[in-house]
Structure formats: C-alpha cells, structure tokens
Structure 1
C-alpha cells in the first residue's frame, strides 16, 4: 500500500512492525517477519539513510520508526503536488486537443438537437455538471421546466452555482409564472426582466450554449443548436451580458410577491456625490481636499455609507451602486 511513497513490500512490513512495537532489534525482525539477517540489515540501513527509522537504546543497536506524519506526510504532499501539476497539464492538453479538433472540423462546434426530449436531456445534463454559472434568456414557450420542477437547477443552486436569468415580461404575465420566479429568487437565482428578448438561450460555465432554432409553424417538435466554444459562443455570451445590463432586477417584496425595479437608494445627495468620487477611484486624501474636510471625516462618512447600504467592503459598495443604478 505504501509503494507509491517509495517503500517496497519488505520495507513496508519492517516499517509497520516498528510502528507497532515501538523498538526492535535485528533479531526481532528475523524472528517475527521471517526474513534473513542479511536482508534485515540491508533494509534497515536503507531505511535509516532515507530517514524512515533511527537507532535508539544502549549501544544504539535497536531501531524505531520515525513518525509517519513527518517522514511519509512530506512525501505524500510532494506526490499530491506532482499529481495536481500533472492534472493541470492534462487539462491544458485536453483543451488544446479539443480546440484543434474544432478548428479541423467545424461540425464539432455546433451540434443540432433534433427534438424536445433530446434538448431537455442535454439541458439537464449541462446543469448537473455546471461548476460556476448558468445564464438564461427566458422567452415564452421555454423548453426548460419551472424552477420548482427543475431539480437540476435546485441541486446546482445548492452547490453554489450562480444562476442569472432574464425573463421576457410577457412570460411573467402567464398564470403562476411570477410565483415560480419568486421561488427561484428566494433560492438564490438572480433574476431580471426585459420587455422583449431576441432569442431563448442557455449558457453553462461559458463553455457551451443551447440555442433553440427557428420553429416552423405547425411543427410541434423544437430543435436547438448545441454550441461548444468558438466565436459563436463568445457572441452569444456578449448578447446575454448586453441584455443583462439593460434588464431591470426582479426582487421579493416584504409581502413575498415578485416586484420589478431597483432598491430605493438610501443615500442623500451629499453621500451620492462622495460615492461617485469613490467609484471613480479617487484616493481618500484627494476626496478630503476636494470636499474641504479631513481624511478621517471622509473615512467615517464612507463607513456610514457602507452601513446604510449593507456593504461589507468598498468593492462591494461600488458593485451594488452599479447594479442598483444609484449613480
């Protein structure tokens, strides 16, 4: 079992015996492990040189094992570091292989999903394997089920996967849809709304996208394109981000209902002006000079602003000011 750490089977037996007995002489190894004197001497000398055992007792004729967490733990750490390095190299080589394969064969970039069942199967699989984020443009007649029935999304949210969803407003007017969206927001989904969306779209980890294709009139089975990498995927992500910037946040009101719009700004005009200087990256000392106050006063006012807005750091304060559109 310890061969991966550099111990052959005989050395492992000797080391385990010494761990169990605390101390032993060469004759103890011969009698208990059934090895000859020459082998015992050779093994102990080798293990002593490598720091696995040390000599103790009168005349230093007895041997004891060095603590495993000291002598083997360091080797295990080096092995783990080597494995991590090798894993990163394999991931990089795999990505290069896929990129080269896609350049040689454009068919690898886009795959057509022929019917609703296949589309749903791929969407479930992508969500189950999502690591970082899932992006949705959600129009009417969406292929995905409601959040309450979408077990893959619920599991992904529990794993910490970020969901950003933009809903088309006519879809929110459908029966039961607002309650469904409110349920998702309570679970951690970030939701926004727009009057009209250009397409239905799902992007997972910025690596793969599902884009429904044109559905002919009278044709009940939808088809979709599965897009892996390339500039087409980058364009779809840019499309989502552009819509996200223009969309209005959806929130849960005190009565539990879904509401649309940003949170009212809790800051007065003076604090908003100070916040605009912070967001612009102006140092506290320069802000103090511009406002005609001390640097300590600037820092105190910034702390008050953070307390009013619920921000823990200045970066979080700037992010919230941008997302809530206070400036």
Structure 2
C-alpha cells in the first residue's frame, strides 16, 4: 500500500514498528518480526536514506521515526499534483484527437473506426469501461474479435456488469458457437435467440455503441474494415430501441447442468415433457435438425416428427411461429 510513496512492504513494516516504539535498534526490529539483524539494519538505513528515520544521537545503532505528517504527507501532495498534471495532459491529448483524428458526423455523434485491429481494441475498451450493462447483437461469423477471445466479458461479469445478448439462428452454425454461449450464460449472461438480426452491435451503459459496417466475407483487407462508434444521440436511442424490440420477441436460452443449451424454465407448461422443452430450446437457438438429433441422440426424422407435433399442439403453421409461441407460453 505504501509503494505509492516509495516504500517496499518490508520498509513499511519497519517504519510502523518505529512509529509504535518511538526508537529501536536492528536487534529489536529483528526480534519483533521475521528478519535477521543484518536485514533489519539494511531496512533502517534505507528508511534513513528516504527521509523517514534518523539515528538517535545518544544511542549508537538506534533509529527513530520521522513523523508521517512530515515525511509522507508532502510526498502525497507532490504525487497528487503530478497526477493532476498528467490528467490534464491526457485530456489535452483527447481533445487533440477529437479535433484532428475523428471523422465527425452529426455534431460528433459518430466516429469512424478504421481497421480490424482498431475495432477489436475499441470493443475491448468498451467492455473494460462498462459499469452497468452491455447489449449485444451477435450475428453469424465475426469481423474483428473471435467470440472465444473475448475475455473482457468475464472480467465485466466479475464487476457486476449485466450482459444481455441476442443471437441470430445462423450464429449457431459456426464451430464452437454453442460452447461459447454455454460459457457466457454460466458466467451470468442473459441470452436470447431470434431468427435473424439486422446488424451486429455492442452498446455500453446505453451511452455508446459500436457497429461494424461490413459483413464477414466482404471484399477488402482487415485494414479496410470500417465501423461506426455512436455516442449519445437520437441515433443511439434508436439503436437501443431496436435492441429492446428484438429482445421482446427473443426466445430465452438456458443451459442444463450437463452444459447443453436447453432445459426447463421455472414456469413450464404441464403438457410438455422435458424432452420436448429441450428440443424447442435447441430449435429456437437455431440448431439444424441434424444438430438437434445429435444432441438428443435420436434420428433426424424423429426430430422433424416431434416438431410437427409441437406445431399442431401450439396451433401454428411455421417453426418461427412455434418459437415465438413457445417463448410466450414459457415452454422453454
């Protein structure tokens, strides 16, 4: 703790002993803590060199502490002044960047980010700076940051940040996607699935959003990738409203104890068996019939027959309608 004023842990411990005893020799210091006499003498001399102790005139080898209000408080004040000067320099750099490097649209509401590396850095900074909530639109593929590399999310969970994530069905066709979602939900992520998302997006604390402006596989090198950073504005409000509308119709994703997407919710319909609820959860998550069959260890034809039976039970004509019906009736 005292490293900010230039003291090591051992020096801080010896200095506290001197404050309590008023004066002490190396022998007394070594007897009070786990130090040999030579180490205690070196620490006392180090405190003297740093202006925190002085030798007692009438007692050779003994040292007394200089009061902390004399030895430490002025140091803290100097560090505070230096920190304030550094802060002012950083703010000046920010203002310089805003004036010269930012592409301004609509009164500085939009900043253009160029290159996959810059976008990846902004996404990490966005999450590191989040304090309350992160909203995500996750489409299939990725343009800058592979999902498995996003360790910032788990650090944010530890700080108490709520993640609400919407996945489109095609997302689950990507290798490892199910495992990534399971890991996120287990860490505290609230996840839902929808048939399709209009764009990919991340929003931090409802104050800033990042939107890549290219799709995976689009022509051009990673350096040519463009993204928009949107600050507080009517545009940002519209993006948040868009998220909330998709969130309302999204099907909740849960994770079983075995680490699979599915499982029963707290208010499941009594007419459905657990296997049907598991199948519905996998279906609304966007897994193909083949993938669902593999998860349930049944044939693809069995999956299709059971889906048809659930559509008849719900009184709907399409799988999309079945997913919405299941979400509203707490069948998942």
TM range (shorter): 0.3 to 0.5
TM-score (norm 2): 0.47
TM-score (norm 1): 0.48
